[in-house]
Amino acid sequence: MTASVDIEELQTTKSEKLLAFVFVVFLLIGGVWSYQEIDDRVRETIELAEPTAAERAAIDRESAAQQRLFAASSGQDEARRDIEFRREEFRAALDADRPSGALERDYRAAQERLAGAQAEHAAATRALAAARPAAEAAQKRVSARIEERRDRQELVTFLLRLALVIASLLAGYLALARLRNRGSRYLPLGGAVVVFGTILAFALAVDYLTDYFNPLDSGLLLLSLMGLLTTVAAFWVLQRYLARRLPHRRVRRGQCPFCAFPVQGNPRCEGCGREVIAPCTRCERPRRVGTSHCAHCGAA
């Protein structure tokens, strides 16, 4: 046995954890881009339905009829304003005993223009009424096809995004298992891939679950429940972390792993009375409680 230490035997350092975090960040950048790009590519591949030639003709006829009716309404309003002006001008001339022959002709012409405008308005109304049923039927058929294409787009997008999430999680867990079996120093990177897949799965769940309910509808109640669950989860994670790390840290500082009271070399802690030196489960020689390995046989 040599005095040198293989790098595989060293515990994961803070620098490696930091690099694993950076690795997750860059994975998320690419993952978010891929997540959005899937939607864009699906929309380009599955295009929305277009009206057929007959449907387009029916819709165009209704549009032309609407424009004709709008123009006829404007012409009718203008003719009414003109005839009112001509009538008042003609009446004022009659009341003043002034020559009114030209004004009368203008008034009669205004009446004819109003009659023509009213006839055009009636014809435009009939044309629009005749064109509307076919146009509405065509629009319904087009809308149905567009809705069907959108449903297909959403389904394909969801399946591809789900495949991305599953592939990320599967790749992460496979890499994690392989690296753990080999005792590789790249194990944190495998864990980073798992974290990336988990975050992506959470984003997918939030993205699609909110399509069926609005989290804001429940208001403060939902906020309270989410806060409670998050707090309990954080507390559970903290307890696991403390149970794993805190005793080792206290032992390295020469403290009791249970209460952090300074240990003076006695078999029991003077602060809480618990055993701080106990027999090793393998060699049964004295071993400090809270250490990762036995100093005599190396058992974990």
The reply to whether 21 falls in a domain is: yes
Output the pLDDT for position 9.
40
The whole domain housing 258 covers 218-300
Q: Is residue 4 part of a domain?
A: no
pLDDT at position 30: 93
69: domain CATH number is 1.10.287
Token code pair at residue 173: 């867990």
**Boundary-marking domain end, from 196, 212, 228:** 212
Do 257 and 112 sit in the same domain of this protein? no
- DSSP conformational letter for 267: S
Pair 234, 166 in one domain: no
Is residue 150, in this structure, part of any structural domain at all? yes
Tens-digit pLDDT profile for residues 12-26: 667 878 888 899 999
In a domain, 7, yes or no: no
Indicate whether 192 belongs to any domain: yes
pLDDT at residue 136 tops 70: yes
Give the mean pLDDT of 80-100: 81
pLDDT value at position 213? Answer: 60
Q: What total number of domains does the chain contain? A: 2
Residue 204, in any domain of the structure: yes
What percent of the chain stands above pLDDT 70?
88
Q: Is the residue at 6 inside a domain?
A: no
Instruction: Tell me: do 51 and 138 sit in the same domain.
Output: yes
The residue ranking higher by pLDDT, 191 or 127, is 127
Give the model's pLDDT for residue 212. Answer: 59
Q: What is the pLDDT of residue 261?
A: 82
pLDDT digits (tens, 9 = 90+) for 154-213: 889 999 999 999 999 899 889 888 887 877 778 888 888 888 988 888 888 888 876 656
The residue written with tokens 């001509």 in the block is 86
Q: Are 153 and 42 spatial neighbours (Cβ–Cβ below 8 Å)? A: yes
More confident of the two residues 105 and 246: 105
The answer to whether residue 289 scores a pLDDT higher than 90 is no
CB atoms within 10 A of CB 264: 9
Q: Of the residues 166, 194, 212, which one is the last residue of a structural domain? A: 212
**Do 60 and 126 lie in a common domain?**
yes
Residue 60 binned pLDDT confidence (cut-offs 50, 70, 90): very high
Domain shared by 229 and 207, yes or no: no
What is the reported pLDDT for 116? 92
Same domain, 50 and 120: yes
Q: Do 159 and 87 share a domain, yes or no?
A: yes
Q: Are residues 228 and 142 in the same domain?
A: no
pLDDT tens-digit map of 216-254 = 665 566 667 776 787 787 777 767 766 777 777 788 888
What's residue 223's pLDDT?
60
Closest CA to 86 of 106, 61, 59, 112: 106
Confidence tier at 3 by pLDDT (50, 70, 90): very low
Contact 84, 70 (CB under 8 A): no
Specify the long-range contacts of residues 191-197, CB closer than 8 Å, at least 24 apart. 191/20, 192/20, 192/21, 192/23, 192/24, 192/27, 193/27, 193/168, 194/169, 195/24, 196/24, 196/27, 196/28, 196/31, 196/168, 196/172, 197/165, 197/168, 197/169, 197/170, 197/171, 197/172
Tell me if 3 is assigned to some domain.
no
CA–CA dist 232, 246 (Å, integer):
20
CB of 141 closer than 8 Å to CB of 58: no
Mean pLDDT, the chain, rounded, equals 82
Same domain, 227 and 206: no
Are 292 and 150 members of one domain? Answer: no
Domain boundary among 180, 212, 244: 212
